[in-house]
Amino acid sequence: MNTNTYLTTRFSIAENDIYFKQFLKKMLLENPFYQITNICNNGSELINRLYRKQEDVFLINLFMPILSGIEAIKIIRKTDLNTPILAYSSTFQDDISDILENIPNTYYCQKNSIIIKDILSNCILSKKNNYENYKKEWQSQSLAVKDYRHREEESKIDLTVTEIQIMKLCYEGFSNKEIGDRINLSTRTIDTYITRLTDRLGLKNKIDLVRFCVEYGYYNSSI
């Protein structure tokens, strides 16, 4: 797939969420052989830059203003059937998966930087493309996945106002002491909140909590 002399993989990103865009950039640039050539805010911007033909992989959010990711993919495929496209949406949707399945060299997953990284490494950029196995595994575990999503939604619904406030303040870069000062709680209490939150959500640390805050939209909450 990659014809670049130095084996650098070049990415074009179409994502309207500025914060998730930052996570994608950070995730990609952790790899010294990844390069970002285009960062667009919607499908229209991406299409207007197609003449450059610089990318080896497209990363496209399916639901964006002006021109959706789905429409952008259809336009791309009129002239380019080969460049891999990894499309994603906030939740994995079977009907969307069925549509994209009929578009060549197009991959689909949930809007999650860890999942995107996994599919890039093990499917798109791997000599052994494991995407079909990935889909089969997803289907074979459909009940487990549904149960996971149900628990995930429950964990979202059950978050208290204080927990959401703490997540947002973590996202904004405040230390635990600064968070405590802002919402009138001790630093030790904030430490406890964050430990319980990460354990409950199956996360490893505060950085993962910030990622969760962005990927599930809590950073944009009015609380």
Residue 115 burial class via C-beta count within 10 angstroms: exposed 0-12, middle 13-18, buried 19 and up: middle
CA distance 188 to 192: 6
CA distance 149 to 158: 14
The DSSP string of the chain is ----TT--EEEEEE-S-HHHHHHHHHHHHTSTTEEEEEEESSHHHHHHTGGG---SEEEEESS-SSS-HHHHHHHHHHH-SSS-EEEEESS--HHHHHHHHTSTTEEEEES-HHHHHHHIIIIISSSS--HHHHHHHHHHTHHHHHHHHHHHHHHHHT--HHHHHHHHHHHTT--HHHHHHHHT--HHHHHHHHHHHHHHTT--SHHHHHHHHHHTTGGG---
Please give the C-alpha separations between residue 49 and each of 13, 37, 74, in angstroms, as whole numbers.
11, 10, 15
Please give the C-alpha separations between residue 105 and each of 57, 82, 86, 178, 201, in angstroms, as whole numbers.
10, 6, 9, 47, 33
Q: What does each of the 223 residues of the chain score in pLDDT, given as a tens digit?
A: 544 445 889 999 999 888 888 889 988 999 999 999 999 999 999 999 887 778 999 999 998 888 889 899 999 999 999 999 999 988 777 888 888 989 999 999 888 888 898 889 888 988 776 677 766 665 555 555 555 555 555 555 578 889 999 998 988 888 999 999 999 999 999 999 999 999 888 888 888 888 888 877 787 766 6
| pTM reported for the whole predicted model | 0.68
